[in-house]
């Protein structure tokens, strides 16, 4: 640190300041945070968000094979069309804030993993489970708001089937070293219907149905994927803010 | 690990399993996440929250000297009564999820730090700034959603004066060692009107107006404090969920 | 923050200070860090460490059933006595800095997991693998310095069989909520022979040989365990500093 | 997850497996951690390190103005040549593991910040203090192993003046967003003479002698700087491993 200390204040200012000092020394003016206009309500997309589903069409989505997405859009809602397969965003994303609303069928059918099952795959690899977990016991690390087959939610904050539910997600992508090894784990924070259910948890690796989570190097950005698990789960009001 | 490995499956199951295996091996059933009923909307208090302000009275609050809180409660809203001083919760909190709504006066008066200024002191020590930061330049680390005199918000997501604004906060308290040294820094995540503005940032220490943030050992739980900065800032719908 | 700002310095001091100010405002004098006398070399136990093995006896250890530990102590070294089972510390530990030195047999025998295998179980649950990984391919998440069946080391920094190797470990225990759910994951940093091999990685859960890592609530402190995997692996110079 | 579950094992394997299962399902073989040959001792440079000072010359260093570094090299040691200014590496670094040894003069002279003062500036911005802190009280956030004017060390693990001391450092650079705001804070872990003194602490910002730490966007890699504070502090055995 600078060696030559001058204490001119001792001669005058310190008398007035006493134990205080100049409060302006701890003000930081630059850079000025850029302005983002929040949505009309907190659920609505802020001005810097990319709206992934606007209620009208699947312009931002495609099938896994790159062909047009075949899910059903009706009344401002997109619903899994059984057997048409997962859909993915045309754009790719890394670190992000993601808002998504989903609804499992009001008419309950099946149980456990067989009831209102879908999934949100961050980067197409890390699944945040979507499931009707209202009075529907399954394995804890497979219920709604779990990181599938890895981390159960802190609590079960599910709404009833047929009601709209929300996920507000902060996702930090994993980083890989040049040699392909894992540098830092992905991290996730999730609010389910306004309730904190994943608190900055480290994701183990890419979701696997069988066996262990894996960590193979991948891109800094990858498309977001919504799963077709055969149940007519619906989604609406999907927007994402890139953190970069 | 266990030395004696038996691979009986080689005799039969593996033929069928191929590269798969038993998916049940990665199911975890216990413990079962406890049920929390979310609020009617995501802004409303979930079933396990402590409602700190219900719109009717200041039963959960007191003045800094332990006497009854003197702020004004009217029409479901509590407003700073200038000169009555800060108020603090009767209960103490550590790690928590906090929802709080606030509003600066519709009639703009003053500028910079002099416009619609208040503050939320987590544990009475770590200030998340409340300020009318709509078209009101001040130092970046002193505007709304900053950790005062420390960390500017990622973006300025302010609503107009007179409009209700929200903070959704995840706060992890600092930990101290037995000898009084700082073991781990406090961490904070904040959404301002639904927009991520503090992303798991480490707080430097207790907020200081003049000089450096300090880190003196304190309790695991401390009361939440709302600041009287002389401006008639209002609050409503305050609830907290202890993370413990 | 304080409302009444006085800037007497503008009258005198600021002229002298210019863009500077009083450097003493950012000095923190209390608390004073306590003095720890480092070891004679960096490998030796500092003054506040608990020496778990002093080269003479197993006074700090016992068998898993609480009976006297049966491993062999000779020439300042303790060696796994095949078939006598794991040993654990009499004291329990949570967050800690751990130094431990180990050696696999100079005469190589077996391969993969069958060569120079032992393990260090933090809290008796989280295994840092000990294995002869010098020119001995096994699964990446099972080689020396891996968090067994979870996280491979960043690099393979193994010394040759018969040579002494070191682990310098920072371990932060997991935290559990009152309801038994996992609050925060355990974290680990490891240097293997002076090379960073685990960089603040989140441990998935308790080590499992078969199936998935588990997270059942346990004490804040649990004994450290060394594994008897049937190979005559040796240890020496084991010391631990509690971080608390 | 895959919808069609086959449980052929129920027919045979499960009888044998019981509660177990196939341990191979949790083996991960790829990628294989690359081999790094550790140094002859843990203090010596591993095979993938960049040796910044080899005891012979300052080939890896230059003055702040880009001219040849003027510090004194003698007997395998480099010593601050008072008044010649700081020196910086020709190469730039971001995330890294850094080993560095330093020695303050055996003949004690001056006190507080005036005794054996130098500093290691990661990225040229974040100072890990070098000071003779053996029986030499100064402000806690200015003593050896402090992040200068920010974070005191956990303990004072200083050796006596005239003795060689070591820092083993893990440094994670801060990240900035495209708009210049701070995305994630720098983090640091430091062992001083083998004793943990900084445990994954978030650095507030660039070191300032006067006033507050600042966070202006800078490159992903920046040169390492050693400070000339006027005292003949010596260094030796400096090596760095890039974490990337």
Residues C45-69 have pLDDT tens digits of 999 999 999 899 999 999 999 999 9
CA dihedral A87, A89, A94, A98 (to 10 degrees): -80
Judge: D148–A1 Cβ closer than 8 Å, yes or no. Answer: yes
Please name the member of B23, B25, B195 whose beta carbon is closest to the beta carbon of A38: B195
D touches which chains (3+ CB pairs under 8 A)? Answer: A, B, C
Give the mean model confidence (pLDDT) for residues B3-24.
45
- DSSP structural state of residue B238: E
CB atoms within 10 A of CB A199: 22
pLDDT above 50 for D5: no
3 state DSSP class of A16 = helix
- Record the pTM: 0.93
3-state secondary structure of C13: helix
Say whether residue C26 is in contact with chain B using an 8 A CB cutoff: yes
Among the listed residues B131, B134, B140, the one whose alpha carbon sits nearest the alpha carbon of residue B113: B131
Residues A120, A128: contact at Cβ < 8 Å? yes
B173-178 average pLDDT score: 98
Q: Is C1 on the interface with B (CB under 8 A)?
A: yes
Q: Does A34 touch chain D (CB under 8 A)?
A: yes
| CA dist A228 → A65, A71, A79, A218, A225 (Å) | 14, 9, 10, 23, 10
Q: Quick check: B212 contacting C, CB < 8 Å?
A: yes
Q: Are strands D187-192 and D165-172 parallel, antiparallel or unpaired?
A: antiparallel
Report CA Rg, chain A: 23
Q: Which of D82, D81, D233, D224 is nearest to D144 (CA)?
A: D233
- Confidence (pLDDT) at A20: 67
pLDDT of the residue at B20: 67
> Which tokens is B210 given?
């003049």
Q: What is the structure's pLDDT at A7?
A: 33
Distance from CA of A25 to the nearest CA of D (A): 5
* Residue of A97, A92, A187 lying closest to A147 (CA atoms): A187
User: What is the model's pLDDT at position D13?
Assistant: 29
Tell me the percentage of chain C whose pLDDT exceeds 90: 89
Neighbours, chain A (3 or more CB pairs < 8 A)? B, C, D
**Contact D186/B at CB under 8 A:** no
Asked whether the beta carbons of residue D1 and residue A179 sit closer than 8 angstroms, the reply is no
Does D13 lie at the interface with B, CB-CB under 8 angstroms? yes
Q: Are C238 and C53 in contact (CB under 8 A)?
A: yes
φ, ψ of residue B16 in degrees (nearest 5)? -80, -45
CA separation for the pair D68, D225 (Å, rounded): 14
Q: How many CB atoms lie within 10 A of CB A106?
A: 11
Nearest CA in chain C to D43: C194
Which pLDDT tens digit goes with each residue over D14-73? Answer: 323 334 688 999 999 999 999 999 999 999 999 999 999 989 999 999 999 999 999 999
Which residues in chain A have their CB less than 8 angstroms from residue C209's CB? none
pLDDT at D163: 98
Whether cis (ω within 30° of 0) applies to the bond prior to D141 is no
Q: A218, exposed or middle or buried, with CB in 10 Å at 0-12, 13-18, 19+?
A: middle
Radius of gyration of chain B (CA): 23
- Give the closest of A180, A230, A244 to D31, CB-based: A180
Residue in A142, A155, A194 nearest the CB of B34 = A155
| D138-164 average pLDDT score | 98
Out of D21, D154, D202, the one facing B185 most closely (by C-beta) is D202
pLDDT given at position D216: 96
The full 3-state SS of D85-111, as one line of letters, equals: CCEEEEEEECCEEEEEEEECCCCCCCC
Report the pLDDT value the prediction gives residue C21, as an integer from 0 to 100: 86
pLDDT in tens, D194-215: 999 999 999 999 999 999 999 9
CA distance C209 to chain B (A): 6
Across the interface, whether the CB atoms of C28 and D152 are under 8 A apart is answered yes
Task: Pull the structure tokens for residue B31.
Answer: 């413990």
Measured between alpha carbons, how far is D146 from D126 in angstroms, rounded to an integer?
Answer: 11
Q: What gap in Å lies between CA D147 and CA A72, rounded to an integer?
A: 57
Dihedral sign for Cα atoms in the order A195, A201, A204, A205: positive
Of D29, D33, D199, the CB nearest to C170: D199
Residue C104 confidence (pLDDT) above 80? yes
Contact across the interface for A16 and C8, Cβ inside 8 Å: yes
Of C2, C27, C216, the CB nearest to B209: C2
DSSP symbol at A152: -
User: Which residues sit opposite A63 in a β-bridge?
Assistant: A87
In whole angstroms, what is the distance from residue B44 CA to residue B38 CA?
8
Structure tokens at C142: 């099972």
For β-strands C126-130 and C118-122, DSSP reports them as antiparallel
Residues 6+ apart with CB under 8 A from B98: B120, B122, B167, B168, B169, B171, B224, B238, B239, B240, B241
Q: What is the mean pLDDT of residues C66-82?
A: 98
Report phi then psi at B122, rounded to 5. -65, 135
How many whole angstroms separate alpha carbon A52 and alpha carbon A242? 12
Kindly state the percentage of chain C with pLDDT values over 70: 92
Stated as kind and residue range, the H or E segment containing B115 is none
pLDDT for res C20? 67
Which pLDDT does position D21 carry in this prediction?
86
- How many beta-carbon pairs below 8 A join chains B and C? 73
Which of B21, B204, B212 has its CB closest to that of D22? B21
B9–D1: do the CB atoms touch at under 8 Å?
Answer: no
Q: Which residues in chain A show pLDDT less than 50?
A: 1-19
Name residue, tokens 């300041």.
A17
What is the rounded CA–CA span in Å between residue A213 and residue D27?
10
Give the β-pairing of B155-156 and A34-35. Answer: parallel
Rounded percentage of chain D residues whose pLDDT exceeds 90: 89
Across the range B79-83, mean pLDDT stands at 97
Report the C-alpha gap between A95 and A241 in whole angstroms: 9
When scoring C9, C25, C36 by the number of chain D Cβ atoms within 10 A, the one with the most, hence best to mutate, is C36
Q: What pLDDT score does B21 carry?
A: 87
Report pLDDT for A21.
87
What is the token pair recorded at D149? 């004017």
Check C1 against B148: CB less than 8 A apart.
yes
């Amino acid at each position: 640190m600078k060696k030559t200390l001058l204490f001119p204040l001792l001669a005058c200012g310190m008398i007035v300041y006493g134990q205080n000092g100049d409060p302006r020394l701890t003000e930081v003016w630059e850079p000025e945070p850029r302005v983002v206009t929040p949505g009309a309500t907190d659920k609505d997309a802020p001005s810097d968000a990319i709206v992934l589903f606007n209620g009208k069409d699947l312009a931002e989505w495609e099938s896994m094979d790159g062909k047009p997405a075949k899910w059903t859009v009706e009344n401002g809602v997109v619903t899994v069309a059984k057997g048409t397969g997962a859909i993915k965003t045309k754009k790719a994303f890394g670190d992000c804030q993601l808002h998504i609303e989903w609804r499992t069928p009001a008419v309950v059918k099946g149980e456990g993993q067989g009831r209102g099952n879908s999934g949100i795959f961050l980067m197409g690899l890390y699944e945040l489970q979507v499931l009707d977990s209202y009075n529907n016991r399954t394995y804890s690390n497979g219920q709604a708001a779990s990181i599938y087959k890895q981390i159960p939610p802190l609590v079960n904050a599910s709404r009833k089937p047929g009601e709209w539910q929300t996920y507000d997600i902060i996702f930090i992508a994993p980083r890989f070293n040049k040699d392909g090894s894992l540098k830092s784990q992905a991290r996730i924070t999730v609010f389910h219907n306004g309730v904190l259910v994943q608190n900055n948890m480290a994701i183990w690796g890419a979701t696997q149905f069988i066996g262990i989570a894996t960590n193979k190097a991948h891109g800094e950005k990858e498309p977001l994927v919504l799963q077709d698990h055969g149940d007519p789960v619906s989604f609406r009001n999907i927007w994402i803010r890139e953190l970069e």
